[in-house]
Amino acid sequence: MKDAVGQPVDAERPYLLLLMAGLGFFGCMSMIGGTIAAQIVVPGHDWVADTISDLGAGEWEIIMDVALYGFAAGLFAMALAASHAHLGGIGWSAGVVSLAILAALVVVVGARNEYGDGDDEGVVIHIYLVYGLGVLFLAAPLNMAAGFGRDHPKVRSALIGLAIAWGVSAPLFLMAPTSIDGLAERVLGLIACAILAVMAWVFWQRGLDAREGRV
């Protein structure tokens, strides 16, 4: 069966994959660039002792909020790309759902300004969001590693390695003393960006292959 332009309906759309991959890379750059910019302009910020969450409250909160929204867009783009180029079974589907939920959680983290400012009035949900991020950033790469590794064995190893690094680092962050929890949180942020970048790279390659008729 073919679509309106004569392509098989089950063929991968190259420009959709390229666009989603580009958004994935953008999400990584948004998170890293926004964090660097925010800690430069926020007076007295100690990147070792002060967390990224501290940057999301106060006069310059818009910088970190926008960075988080950009990162969420990258996660959602990966969910869309993975849904389109479905490379596995139920595990892959679970990974797609995990990425979509992660995007939603990151948006809520950015939108809710009760974190980092010492304000505990109303319903404080930040800690529950952190637990959700912890579980899903472990589940997504583990569930999808086999599918990504079908054509890219090194990507499978990379995602498993990053998932292990996340699984070890996340509990350590929760137990870290306040004197170094900012550094620990930044390590987790880099791991999350690496997971996103690895996935985006695969979809970029698949988009190029689809454009050349190789998939």
pLDDT tens per residue, range 50-102: 777 777 666 778 888 899 999 999 999 999 999 999 999 999 999 999 999 99
Closest Cα partner for 195 from 28, 23, 8?
28
Q: What is the DSSP string of the chain?
A: -B-TTS-BTTS--HHHHHHHHHHHHHHHHHHHHHHHHHHHHSTT--TTTS-HHHHTSSTTHHHHHHHHHHHHHHHHHHHHHHHHS--SSHHHHHHHHHHHHHHHHHHHHHH-TTSSS----S---HHHHHHHHHHHHHHHHHHHHHHHTTT-HHHHHHHHHHHHHHHHHHHHHHHS-TTTHHHHHHHHHHHHHHHHHHHHHHHHHHHHHHHTT--
Residue 51's identity, in one-letter code, is T
> Distance between CA 45 and CA 135 in Å, rounded?
29
Please give the residue that has the higher pLDDT: either 121 or 191.
191
Q: Mean per-residue pLDDT for 119-131?
A: 64
**What is the three-state SS of 26-72?**
HHHHHHHHHHHHHHHHCCCCCCCCCCHHHHCCCCCHHHHHHHHHHHH
Q: Which pLDDT does position 97 carry in this prediction? A: 98
Q: Contact 94/143 with Cβ under 8 angstroms? A: yes
pLDDT reading at 116 higher than 50? no
pLDDT reading at 117 higher than 70? no
Q: Mean per-residue pLDDT for 195-204?
A: 98
Q: Which pLDDT does position 58 carry in this prediction? A: 67
Q: Which pLDDT does position 2 carry in this prediction? A: 45
Give residues with Cβ within 8 angstroms of 6, minimum separation 6: none
Q: Which pLDDT does position 87 carry in this prediction? A: 94
Cross-strand pairs, 8:
2
